[in-house]
Amino acid sequence: MVTTTTQVCNFGWRAAEFDLPGVDGRRHTLASTRGANGLLVMFICNHCPYVKAVLDRIVRDCAELGEHGIGSVAIMSNDPAQYAEDSFENMQRVARERGFTFPYLLDATQGVARAYGAVCTPDFFGFNAQLELQYRGRLDESRTTLVPDARRDLYEAMKQVARTGEGPREQIASVGCSIKWRS
């Protein structure tokens, strides 16, 4: 496991287009996943201990953000040849078992991860209604172990984005496993 930290938020950067297959058997795009007040794009995977530790919180926060007009989408860009746990079949299983209320998409070419500059799992990109980047930070202070009663950094930031169109200027980078790039 190689641990990586995300970069600082590049405020105003425009969301990159995508058209990817989901575990639900449908294709999903930037336009089909956005909400009226914004979009949360998450790069996650099945095998990463950082993702595993917070996955239930991700599902909870995405469901609650939907009530604020924020759409959510999760993208898996790892090379499943390196980690069988990240296969499409396992993506389907994880989404079903954890009750994902958002599309879980396979970025088989890794082109979407490269377009976003994703570096780790989890890596969060929070956009406003104009699809301008307003948040690039952590979910909360949990790493591979949950921190009880942790401040919900991502959730609070995206609520602010939904309300004002702007994210907080103070953000703490996400930390996770590096994306497993194809050779």
Domain at 171, CATH number: 3.40.30.10
In a domain? residue 95:
yes
Cβ neighbours around 69 below 10 Å, total: 16
In a domain? residue 173:
yes
Residues 57, 139: contact at Cβ < 8 Å?
Answer: yes
In a domain? residue 65:
yes
pLDDT of amino acid 22: 98
pLDDT of amino acid 7: 79
Structural domain boundaries enclosing 90: 3-178
Segments of the chain with pLDDT less than 50: none
Cα–Cα distance measured from residue 49 to residue 67, given in angstroms and rounded to the nearest whole number: 28
Domain count, the chain: 1
In a domain? residue 183:
no
